[in-house]
C-alpha cells in the first residue's frame, strides 16, 4: 500500500509498543549463538525527524516516545527500549525506525534484509544504510514477494 507513510506516525504509542517488543526479541536472539536474518517487509525510511512537517502534522509522537523520554522510573524493558532508540535523553528529535533499531542491535554475524516499495522512503532507506556494508541489504520491491523469495522452500511443499 503506497498511501501509508510512516513519517506521519513515527514514535506514536503503537510504534513504541512494537519497538519495545522488537528490542526484547532481538536481545533474546542475540543471546543465542546462531546468526539470524532480520527481514522487514515494510521497512520505511529507516529513521525519522520528529520535528519534520510530516511528523508535526499529526503530532502522534508527543503521546508516544516523547512522553516516555523523561520518565525516571521506567520498567527495565522500557528503559532498555529508550536507551536503544536514543530517547533516554530528553530533547532528541530523531526517531529510529525498526530497521535502524535492528541495525543497532545486530551482531557481526547477523544480516538485515529490508524491503520498501514507496519510492521516496526507499531512497531515504537506501541512503540511510549506504555505508552499512553487505550485512544490510535494501531492496526496492514488494516486501511480501521479497520475503517469499528469501525463504527456502519447505520440503514437500509448494508455494502458491
Render pLDDT for 11-20 as a digit per residue (tens, 0 to 9): 888 888 999 9
pLDDT in tens, 123-140: 999 999 999 999 999 999
- Give residue 157's Cα distance to chain centre: 31
Mean pLDDT, to the nearest integer, of 131-150?
93
Q: How far apart are the first and last CA of the chain?
A: 21
Confidence (pTM) = 0.86
Amino acid at each position: 500500500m503506497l498511501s501509508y507513510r510512516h513519517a506521519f506516525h513515527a514514535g506514536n504509542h503503537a510504534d513504541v509498543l512494537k519497538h519495545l517488543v522488537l528490542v526484547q526479541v532481538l536481545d533474546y536472539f542475540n543471546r543465542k549463538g546462531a546468526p539470524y536474518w532480520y527481514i522487514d517487509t515494510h521497512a520505511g525510511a529507516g529513521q525519522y525527524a520528529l520535528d519534520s512537517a510530516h511528523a508535526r502534522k499529526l503530532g502522534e509522537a508527543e503521546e508516544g516516545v516523547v512522553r516516555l523520554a523523561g520518565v525516571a522510573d521506567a520498567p527495565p524493558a522500557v528503559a532498555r527500549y529508550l536507551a536503544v532508540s536514543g530517547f533516554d535523553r530528553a530533547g532528541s528529535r530523531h526517531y529510529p525506525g525498526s530497521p535502524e533499531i535492528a541495525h543497532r542491535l545486530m551482531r557481526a554475524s547477523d544480516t538485515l534484509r529490508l524491503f520498501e516499495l514507496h519510492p521516496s522512503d526507499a531512497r531515504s532507506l537506501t541512503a540511510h544504510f549506504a555505508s552499512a556494508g553487505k550485512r544490510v541489504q535494501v531492496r526496492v520491491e514488494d516486501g511480501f514477494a521479497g520475503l517469499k523469495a528469501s525463504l527456502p522452500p519447505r520440503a514437500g511443499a509448494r508455494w502458491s
